[in-house]
Amino acid sequence: MQESSRKKTPLYDEHVRRGARIVEFSGWMMPVQYSGIVDEHHTVRKAVGVFDISHMGQLHVCGENARDWLNYMLTNNVERMDAGESQYTFLLNEEGGVIDDLIVYHYGDGQYLLVVNASMTPKDFEWMQAHLRPGVELENRSAHYAGLAVQGPKSIQLFDLFFGAGISRPARNEIKQVKRDGKTMVVSSTGYTGESGFEIFFPAEFAAELWNEILERGTGLGIKPCGLGARDTLRLEMCYPLNGSDLSPARTPLEAGLSIFVDLAKGDFIGKKPLEKQRQDGVKERLVPFKMKEKSPPPRAHYPVFKDGEKIGEIASGTLSPTLNIGIGMVYVPAKYARINEEIEIDIRGNRFSATIEKKPLHK
């Protein structure tokens, strides 16, 4: 990749200054770790950690037809969201395959914010632009926004330390626009770790100042800056999907086991027909979590998966779970094997290791 095409978040210099290990992640120069993936993972599970999520895309949608249009573009029911609420949802192609998974925030007055995956932002924007209707305005504001995810049980105390007593934490699926120190920011209780936490989005020029202030205020709580490595192990223990690994244009949300974020009872939306058919016929394959039965090398993406000597799939996501201290992952398997406690085998460099299909989530 050319140096010029490697994008940096407004916090890049802070990451370097604080000694992060930087890697290229879908075109972005991002911290993969600070103190270490395992240490950061435990910090988020036991105390509090902060992640730079400025690379994520922010698409702004408004206009008199914004709601109806979004309901046609997305799988979940936008009408069920009151002003000040958020919703996890999918952007599908005509075949019902996943272009992206995202969170839509409803500000009210026909104004919506879509927070999308960094790698998919241009594609999502292009797709939505191609389907635009009169009475809808779509704007890619990704470059103007920075974001932080503050995650962990002690994020509750940190919220109060950071925002002061006057502002209460947003409820689950609630968003708040907060003016703090003259700076307007959007605050939600979302996250990607399975812990309590909050995410804040704000104009990019405040990024370094707010990042450092969060770290300073959280010092007494044991806060640590965290990278994408821990973000991945944390989300995988919760079986939260990662687009590009667990989701793809060739897989539907039903196959991914995420049908609760698809409203087939609402009006027409892109990808609805194939999903209705799939609902009727049943899915051929399903994404299931698994756990190694014994100590093994960490299972990793693309390792072959066997059942009764026959190859039935490849690992979609895999890692060593720092919390459980055993290999975990997710894999698409034929629907007949998608049962809890079903035994499968993972081929790791020619050796077979037993694993069992588990219930979501793998942690807690």
Partner 1 sequence: MNVPDDLQYTATHEWIRMEGEDARVGITDHAQAELTDIVYVELPKVGAVVAPKQAVAVVESVKAASDIYSPIGGTITEVNHALDSNPALVNTDPYGEGWLFRVRMEAGEEIELLKDPSAYRKQIDNAGEASL
Smallest separation (angstroms) from partner 1 to the CB of 346: 13
One residue of 320, 344, 357, 362 binding partner 1 per CB under 8 A: 320
Give the binding-site size for partner 1 (rule: CB under 8 A): 17
Distance separating alpha carbons of residues 221 and 45, to the nearest angstrom = 13
Smallest separation (angstroms) from partner 1 to the CB of 357: 22
Where does this chain touch partner 1 (CB under 8 A) — which range of 135-143, 188-196, 277-285, 316-324? 316-324
Encoded amino acid at 173, one letter? N
Smallest separation (angstroms) from partner 1 to the CB of 297: 5
Q: Which is nearer to partner 1, 32 or 62 (CB)?
A: 32
Smallest separation (angstroms) from partner 1 to the CB of 41: 8
Assess contact for 149 and 103: CB atoms under 8 A.
no
**274-282: long-range contacts, CB 8 A cutoff, minimum separation 24:** 274/94, 274/95, 274/96, 275/75, 275/92, 275/96, 278/96, 278/252, 278/254, 279/254, 282/335
Binding mask 25-44 for partner 1 (x = CB under 8 A): -------xx--xxxx-----
- Shortest CA distance to 175 belongs to which of 112, 222, 218, 263? 112
Q: Which is nearer to partner 1, 219 or 325 (CB)?
A: 325
One residue of 170, 191, 241, 322 binding partner 1 per CB under 8 A: 322
One residue of 244, 297, 304, 334 binding partner 1 per CB under 8 A: 297
Four-CA torsion 236, 286, 245, 326, nearest 10 degrees: 30
The bridge status of strand 28-33 relative to strand 7-8 is: parallel
Smallest separation (angstroms) from partner 1 to the CB of 43: 13
233 makes contact with partner 1 (CB under 8 A): yes
H/E segment holding residue 356: strand 351-357
Residues 119-148 that bind partner 1 (CB under 8 A): none
- Shortest CA distance to 222 belongs to which of 164, 181, 161? 161
The bridge status of strand 49-52 relative to strand 145-151 is: antiparallel
Distance separating alpha carbons of residues 87 and 77, to the nearest angstrom = 9
SS3 state at 96: coil
Residues 234-293 that bind partner 1 (CB under 8 A): none
Smallest separation (angstroms) from partner 1 to the CB of 344: 20
349 makes contact with partner 1 (CB under 8 A): yes
Q: Which is nearer to partner 1, 19 or 267 (CB)?
A: 19
Residues that bind partner 1 (CB under 8 A): 21, 32-33, 36-39, 229, 233, 296-298, 300, 319-320, 322, 349
